[in-house]
């Protein structure tokens, strides 16, 4: 049996592109919305690994969808090889990751995925530190009174003016205005 594995990191993302790429290539697609940091916290991947049998194939669109660190990538590949399950990545074309050269390519690509994840984290940490140093509030948006927003809107203020007066983001005011208009 051919299984597809599709993963995104957050609820704001979707697996549609991966689904389109896997469509017609696999019998079943396993979807997951969770960080790729560790395979231990990925229940759908764990279920997939548990149901695989000799002769099955796992197809993933890109290596970083399966693993974001080299150790996990190599452990998954080793486990699948032991089970007699083929592993194929659409972005690695037709590289057989169980061959000597394929294993090298796979390891290098897994290392790059791990480095990329670390660099993203570093950039996010730097951005948060700069925002904090600039006095910007981080974290959850504060509660804003819908009644106040409605009154300010009625008094002729626009979204930007309301956000400044209530010390919140324009997005927060925009979300409230959509709710008010829908009600």
Judge if pTM exceeds 0.85.
no
Closest CA to 149 of 101, 183, 115: 183
For residue 86, how many C-alpha atoms fall within 13 Å in the half-sphere facing its CB?
13
Which structural domain, as residue segments, surrounds residue 165?
A: 146-182
Check residue 155 and give its pLDDT.
92
The answer to the question of residue 139 being in a domain is no
Same domain for 94 and 150, yes or no, is no
The answer to the question of residue 129 being in a domain is no
Same domain for 79 and 157, yes or no, is no
Check residue 54 and give its pLDDT.
96
Same domain for 101 and 15, yes or no, is yes
Give the three-class secondary structure for 4.
strand
Cβ-contact 68, 58 below 8 angstroms: no
Q: CATH no. for residue 67?
A: 3.40.50.1390
Count other C-beta atoms under 10 Å from residue 147's C-beta. Answer: 9
9 is catalytic: yes
Same domain for 101 and 168, yes or no, is no
> Where does a domain end: 119, 134, 155?
119
Q: Say how many Å lie between the first and final Cα of the chain, rounded.
A: 49
Whole-angstrom Cα Rg for the chain = 23
The answer to the question of residue 125 being in a domain is no
The answer to the question of residue 138 being in a domain is no
Torsion 75-77-38-67 (CA) sign:
positive
Q: CATH no. for residue 152?
A: 1.10.10
Check residue 183 and give its pLDDT.
66
Strands 2-8 and 57-60 turn out to be: parallel
Check residue 141 and give its pLDDT.
60
Check residue 90 and give its pLDDT.
92
Same domain for 175 and 97, yes or no, is no
The answer to the question of residue 7 being in a domain is yes
The answer to the question of residue 136 being in a domain is no
Same domain for 95 and 164, yes or no, is no
| Residue ranges, the chain, pLDDT below 70 | 94, 140-142, 183
> Where does a domain end: 119, 136, 157?
119
Check residue 98 and give its pLDDT.
80
Same domain for 97 and 172, yes or no, is no
Same domain for 58 and 104, yes or no, is yes
Count structural domains, the chain.
Answer: 2
Given 9, 94, 111, 137, which residue is catalytic?
Answer: 9
| 50-69 confidence digits (pLDDT tens) | 999 999 999 999 988 998 88
How far is the C-alpha of 168 from the C-alpha of 144, rounded, in Å?
8
Check residue 126 and give its pLDDT.
94
Q: What one-character DSSP code corresponds to residue 117?
A: H
């Amino acid at each position: 049996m051919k299984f597809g594995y599709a993963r995104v990191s957050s609820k704001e993302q979707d697996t549609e592109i991966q689904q389109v790429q896997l469509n017609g290539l696999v019998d079943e697609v396993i979807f997951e919305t969770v960080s790729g940091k560790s395979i231990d916290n990925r229940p759908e991947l764990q279920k997939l690994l548990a149901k695989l049998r000799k002769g099955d194939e796992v197809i993933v669109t890109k290596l970083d969808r399966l693993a974001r660190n080299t150790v996990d990538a190599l452990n998954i590949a080793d486990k699948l090889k032991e089970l007699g399950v083929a592993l194929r990545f659409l972005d690695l074309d037709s590289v057989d990751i169980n061959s000597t050269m394929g294993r090298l390519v796979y390891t290098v690509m897994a290392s790059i995925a791990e480095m990329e994840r670390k660099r993203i984290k570093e950039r996010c940490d730097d951005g948060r530190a700069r925002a904090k140093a600039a006095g910007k509030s981080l974290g959850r948006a504060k509660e804003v009174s819908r009644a106040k927003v409605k009154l300010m809107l009625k008094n002729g203020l626009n979204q930007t003016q309301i956000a400044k007066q209530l010390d919140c983001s324009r997005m927060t005011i925009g979300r409230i205005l959509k709710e008010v208009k829908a009600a």
